[in-house]
């Protein structure tokens, strides 16, 4: 038996969480078109060709503007040092930018480079980008699409071959170790992100304030009084739609109650971030 840890790192929005879900074959990390969706480490468990691979999704590495941003970068950087293998994701659609170069310059030479979103670009663009990436001299290179799944199985083959000897770490059929409360809070945030525009995605945080199944209360934090009506919607229509979409993903009979609160400085307050589970 072999087992080990692999981390997915890269700029925000390159498709790390989409790849984690594709590898696990279940949705274990929320995804959105907005950058900075993942705020904490999310672990997914994959059994592949005799190896147990624990894939760790991390927040996108970016220039932090708040304490939350600093903590997110810290989380991602710490994970790099703790795993058996690092996967650096690059977005083929947006190309190799300065942010990517910074990450590539800090990644260990044993890392795998994964060019993602290859479904969205022409073959020549893939070849051109791979030839640039090749100059960095990493262990191996992959061109995949996390959205269509193309290349994901070959990537898993190569990862499995790199895992050290070791025992099974998680019970069979377990796909993630995210606590249920964190998961429900994230599902609510994911649905809100689908409807949110402009700066709102960054302003929203969610946390379970009462966990007494089948009753589950989730608090939605915004930073300004003026954001409250946007999240609630006309006559409560947005909250209602969010509630319906999240309930569909929860056990039958769950009573989900959503509340919106203003916490002006939740992104900059260590007390608020601890309550949200985003720092110790
Ligand atoms: N066309 C295409 N889009 C993709 C692919 N993978 C991810 N996306 C899209 O890219 C956007 C970002 O995906 P995420 O998986 O949330 O990206 P992330 O790297 O986890 O982002 P952060 O958590 O913000 O750091 C979403 O709209 C995805 O649907 C892909 O292979 N092809
Ligand atoms: Mg993510």
pLDDT digits (tens, 9 = 90+) for 121-178: 999 999 999 999 999 999 999 999 999 999 999 999 999 999 999 999 999 999 999 9
Residue to probe by mutation, ligand 1, list 10, 15, 145, most atoms within 8 Å of CB: 15
Statement: residue 255 has pLDDT above 80: yes
Superfamily of domain 180-275: K homology (KH) domain (3.30.300.20)
In this structure, which ligand is nearest to the CA of 146?
A: 1
Cα–Cα distance, 205 to 99 (Å, whole number)? 25
C-beta of 14 in contact with ligand 1 (< 6 A): yes
CA 69 distance to own-chain centroid: 14
pLDDT at 195: 86
What single-letter DSSP state applies at residue 198?
A: T
- Whether residue 89 contacts residue 13, with contact meaning beta carbons closer than 8 Å, is answered with no
pLDDT single digits (tens) 25-72? 999 999 999 999 999 999 999 999 999 999 999 999 999 999 999 999
| pTM for the full predicted model | 0.98
Provide the total of helices (H) and of strands (E) in the chain, helices listed first: 10, 9
Distance 154 CA to ligand 1 centre (A): 20
User: Would you state the pLDDT for residue 24?
Assistant: 98
DSSP letter assigned to residue 117: -
219-250 confidence digits (pLDDT tens): 999 999 999 999 999 999 999 999 999 999 99
Q: How far, in Å, from the CA of 235 to the mean position of ligand 1?
A: 32
Going from the Cα of 14 to the center of ligand 1, the distance in angstroms, rounded, reads 5
Ligand 1 atom closest to the Cα of residue 144 is 31
263 CB-near residues (< 8 Å, 6+ apart): 205, 221, 222, 223, 269, 272
pLDDT of residue 186: 98
The CATH classification number of 2-162 equals: 3.40.50.300
Would the pLDDT of 105 be above 90? yes
Contact 132, 163 (CB under 8 A): no
Residue 35 Cβ inside 6 Å of ligand 1? The answer reads yes
The pLDDT assigned to 148 comes to: 98
Q: Can you read off the two tokens belonging to residue 207?
A: 């946390």
Share of the chain above pLDDT 90, in %: 98
From residue 27, give the alpha-carbon distance in Å to each of 43, 174, 180, 241, 251. 11, 13, 14, 20, 15
Q: What is the DSSP letter of 139?
A: S
Q: What is the mean pLDDT of residues 183-189?
A: 98
In the chain, how long is the greatest CA-to-CA distance? Answer: 57
Structure tokens at 230: 């946007």
- The DSSP output letter for 174 is -
Domain residue spans of the chain: 2-162, 180-275
pLDDT on residue 49: 96
Distance 194 CA to ligand 2 centre (A): 14
pLDDT given at position 198: 72
DSSP state of 1: -
User: In the predicted model, what is the mean pLDDT of the chain?
Assistant: 97
The SS3 call for residue 61 is coil
> From CA 187, how far away is CA 206, in angstroms rounded?
9
Q: What is the pLDDT of residue 197?
A: 77
Paired with 8 in beta bridges are: 57, 87
């Amino acid at each position: 038996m072999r087992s080990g840890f692999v981390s997915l790192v890269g700029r925000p929005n390159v498709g790390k969480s989409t790849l984690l879900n594709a590898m696990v074959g279940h949705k274990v990390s929320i995804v959105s078109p907005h950058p900075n969706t993942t705020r904490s480490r999310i672990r997914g468990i994959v059994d592949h060709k005799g190896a147990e691979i624990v894939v760790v999704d991390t927040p996108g590495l970016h220039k932090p503007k708040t304490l939350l941003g600093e903590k997110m970068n810290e989380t991602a950087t710490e994970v790099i040092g703790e795993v058996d293998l690092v996967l650096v994701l690059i977005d083929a659609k947006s190309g190799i930018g300065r942010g990517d170069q910074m990450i590539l310059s800090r990644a260990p030479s044993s890392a795998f480079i994964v060019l993602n979103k290859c479904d969205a670009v022409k073959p020549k663009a893939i070849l051109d980008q791979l030839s640039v990436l090749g100059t960095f001299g990493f262990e191996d290179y992959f061109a995949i699409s996390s959205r269509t799944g193309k290349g994901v199985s070959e990537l898993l083959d190569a990862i499995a071959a790199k895992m050290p000897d070791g025992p099974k770490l998680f019970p069979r059929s377990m796909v993630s170790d995210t606590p249920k409360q964190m998961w429900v809070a994230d599902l609510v945030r994911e649905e809100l992100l689908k409807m949110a525009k402009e700066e709102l995605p960054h302003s929203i945080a969610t946390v379970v304030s009462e966990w007494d199944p089948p009753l589950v209360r989730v608090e939605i934090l915004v930073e300004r009084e003026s954001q409250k009506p946007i999240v609630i919607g006309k006559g409560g229509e947005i909250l209602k739609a969010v509630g319906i979409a999240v309930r569909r993903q929860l056990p039958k009979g769950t009573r989900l109650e959503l509340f919106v609160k203003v916490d002006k400085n939740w992104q900059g307050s260590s007390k608020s971030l601890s309550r949200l589970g985003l720092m110790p």
